[in-house]
Amino acid sequence: MLLSGFLAPRPHAGGAAFRIQADTMPCQRSVRPLAACLAAVVTLFVLAGTAQAQMPQRVAPDSRQQVMLSFAPVTAKTAPAVVNVFALKTKPQGGHPFIDDPFFRRFFGDRGFGVPRERVQRSLGSGVIVDPRGLVVTNHHVVEGADEVRVVLADKRELAAEIVLRDPRTDLAVLRINEGAPFAAIDLADSDALQVGDLVLAIGNPFGVGQTVTQGIVSALARSQVGISDFQSFIQTDAAINPGNSGGALVDMSGRLVGINTAIFTRSGGSHGIGFAIPSNMVRVVVESARSGGKQVKRPWLGARLQTVTADIAESLGLPRPTGALVADVPNGTPAAKAGLKRGDVVVAIDGQAVDDPDGLGFRLATRPVGGKAVLTVRRGANEMPLPIGLEAPPEGSSRDAVVIKSRSPFAGATVATLDAALADELRLPFTGEGVVVVVKVEPGSPADNLGFQPGDAVLQVNGRDIATPQELERIFRAGARLWRLVVQREGRAIQMVLPG
């Protein structure tokens, strides 16, 4: 394979490994014939070469011949499994103000002044076939709200696709295409084995121009301040990623999937060399849930409220550096409480993998199966200790009593629900066991969105009345009022506001 020159260990005469072998050569201890000594030397060098071949090393190209090597073999292996995804959504189209007047409809018909009553929105993205039977992974935002999804294969075949699993928390979705199986598929790599500087290829359909391959390196790992999804531990790459690449493949030099390209940092709408991909270890969890027939992904929860360790906190706790997840609260009955986690503890690792911040801990937990065990490494005072923890799914509760506020009010367009343990974990809110009504979702462009309400806001009072259930909030808004006096809690702070009715 042409790329082997990048991965093969480079001979280095006089290296420590060779000197150790040379110090123990049997020909230095006896008067053996020259042929025997040479044979022994050759054998030792062959064994050393075999041992190093079993442990591939990452080395930079050191000659023009190596620089001129091609990525074509990796592309040929992986590109057939990368597809284009087209999502279609029919939305009502606003027309002329007289479009519904019977008089004008007599003359202009249902289309009213040539303006269609409906329009079709088309979103374009990419996807990756991860199972020969037709499972395709893409981004959730590519197919969100779609009435119809179609997939175009690398060989130009166009097939209808069914959405079998949506996971907005990771911004992943799994599709199924049935016609024409088996399909070319990509194996998933262990994204934890990636290192900064590793070569990667990004494959997708940027700007709809057709399948495109770009090359770069892993620029950073475990990026958590990106704001794309709930579980943030993104791979950053400088391989060119542009609109349309969403849901496409990030592959290593062995042709394995290491990530799903998801977002870019840009000021112009194009690539600036800062792209982000969801690691394959998170993709694997979502794919396995789809394979098992699940409609949603079940993940373990910790149940503790965490906060970032700042430099000041690290100094006050005697930590060598500001890293880890500080435990701010541990409600009773949660997995964290059962494991013995206490307020003031700092979680620095899980199963031996370092944790930089609460997002990193959340990501590590989310990639582990429900029902298993994990070991948290906790710093308590001046000591570090292991704490085994059971990986439990958050309990199902009343978060399914969600109500969409439709009445004319400041919260019109918001979905609200009673906070329970599962919803608190999803929204990353503290859970005390008391009934609290929180905003779960805000429709873009709605009055609630325009006023700046957001998921996680707790509605405490309306016009002096405490709010205990979503239904009660809806009844108050339905009754109407000239003024709305609201008390809303956000990030632990109570905010009072007065808004017109």
Burial class (CB in 10 A: 0-12, 13-18, 19+), 250: buried
The region, left, alpha or beta by phi > 0 then psi within -120 to 50, assigned to residue 205 is: beta
- Looking at residue 20, its pLDDT comes to 29
pLDDT tens-digit profile of 135-145?
999 999 999 88
Name the binding residues for substrate. 141, 171, 244-246
Query: Which CATH number does the domain 398-500 belong to among 1.10.3720.10, 2.30.42.10, 3.40.720.10, 3.20.20.150?
Result: 2.30.42.10
Q: Where are the domains of the chain?
A: 4-57, 70-297, 305-390, 398-500
Catalytic residue among 141, 167, 271, 409: 141
Decide whether 70-297 matches 305-390 in CATH topology. no
Instruction: Judge whether 82 and 126 are in contact, CB under 8 Å.
Output: yes
Catalytic residue among 171, 238, 357, 359: 171
Name the binding residues. 141, 171, 244-246
Catalytic residue among 126, 229, 233, 246: 246
- Looking at residue 58, its pLDDT comes to 66
Tokens matching residue 226: 């990106």
**Is 12 marked active-site?**
no
- Looking at residue 144, its pLDDT comes to 87
- Looking at residue 120, its pLDDT comes to 61
Higher-confidence residue of 88 and 122: namely: 88
**Is 141 marked active-site?**
yes
Q: Does residue 43 register a pLDDT over 70?
A: no
pLDDT tens-digit profile of 337-346?
999 999 999 9
The CATH classification number of 70-297 equals: 2.40.10.120
Q: Does residue 113 register a pLDDT over 90?
A: no
Among candidate residues 299, 297, 392, 265, the one with its CA nearest the CA of residue 339: 392
Portion of the chain with pLDDT greater than 90, in percent = 29
The 3-state DSSP class for residue 258 equals strand
Which H/E stretch holds residue 326?
strand 325-329
Q: Does residue 203 register a pLDDT over 90?
A: yes
Which H/E stretch holds residue 160?
strand 158-167
Q: How far apart are CA 280 and CA 355, in angstroms?
A: 18
- Looking at residue 249, its pLDDT comes to 92
Class assignment of domain 305-390?
A: mainly beta
Q: How far apart are CA 276 and CA 141, in angstroms?
A: 15
pTM exceeds cut of 0.85: no
Higher-confidence residue of 264 and 175: namely: 175
pLDDT tens-digit profile of 324-380?
999 988 888 889 999 999 999 999 999 998 888 888 888 888 888 888 899 999 999
What residues contact 310, with CB distance under 8 A and at least 6 apart?
A: 322
Over residues 389-402, mean pLDDT: 74
**Is 292 marked active-site?**
no
- Looking at residue 67, its pLDDT comes to 58
